[in-house]
Amino acid sequence: MEDGLHIFDQGDDEDVEGVGMSETAMNEGMQGRNFVEYVQRNSVDESPRPGSWTFSDKDHGWQVSDSIAESMKCCLLFSMMPSQFVGEKMEPENLYDSVNVLLSLQSKNGGLSAWEPAGARLWLEALVLLKKLYPENRKKESETFIINAVQFLEHIQKPDGSGYG
């Protein structure tokens, strides 16, 4: 753990957000910075998909919409925190790359990749938060994405109001 973090396994991106945003992490400013550095360091910053995050770390190589959304959401939440706790914030241009990737992954039915139906709320939350913090970035495309995503979620919702996942 030379970077102060455990390399998370599949589906553990939410742990980064939860621990990174915890009171303990806030009190231990260095730990908060380690989380931010870990998330930023594992962003894919070269072709073919700059702005994406993969299953567990950058070397994994496969972009995953849930990982992109959760990591992007972490970076956005960290950007609202004092730099003394989180260190350098991710550049907006890198977040815009993430938006480009998410927008490109939406299918005609409004969902994202077919093998991740349970994580729909993640990419929707990330796009809504980014729209709030950077309202002019791909404004029309983001609005269309959000409308289609909401329609998709309503479509897959069960009659009792529950959903998959």
Q: Lowest mean pLDDT: which of 6-15, 21-30, 55-64, 101-110?
A: 6-15
Q: Is pLDDT larger for residue 53 or for residue 60?
A: 53
What are the pLDDT digits (tens) for 54-88? 766 666 667 778 888 888 888 898 889 888 888 88
**Known catalytic residue at 13:** no
Q: Name the residue range of residue 53's domain.
A: 13-156
Q: Is pLDDT larger for residue 38 or for residue 106?
A: 106
Question: Within a domain: residue 4?
Answer: no
What number is the average pLDDT over the span 83-94?
Answer: 85
Q: Lowest mean pLDDT: which of 28-32, 108-112, 140-144?
A: 28-32
Q: Please, what is the end-to-end C-alpha distance for the chain in angstroms? A: 31
- State the pLDDT at residue 135: 92
| pLDDT over threshold 80, residue 101 | yes
Q: What is the DSSP string of 98-148?
A: HHHHHHHH--TTS---TT-GGGHHHHHHHHHHHHHHSTTTTHHHHHHHHHH
Question: Within a domain: residue 34?
Answer: yes
Average pLDDT for the chain: 74
| pLDDT over threshold 70, residue 13 | no
User: Looking at residue 87, which CATH number applies to its domain?
Assistant: 1.50.10.20
Q: Are 67 and 122 in contact (CB under 8 A)?
A: no
Question: Within a domain: residue 162?
Answer: no
Question: Within a domain: residue 83?
Answer: yes
Question: Within a domain: residue 2?
Answer: no
Question: Within a domain: residue 1?
Answer: no
| pLDDT over threshold 70, residue 24 | no
Cite the DSSP H helix spans in 42-114: 65-79, 83-86, 92-105
| pLDDT over threshold 60, residue 118 | no
**Domains held by the chain: number:** 1
Residue of 13, 15, 57, 66 marked active site? 66
Question: Within a domain: residue 114?
Answer: yes
Question: Within a domain: residue 125?
Answer: yes
Percent of the chain with pLDDT over 90: 12
- State the pLDDT at residue 10: 43
Q: Is pLDDT larger for residue 40 or for residue 22?
A: 40
- State the pLDDT at residue 67: 81
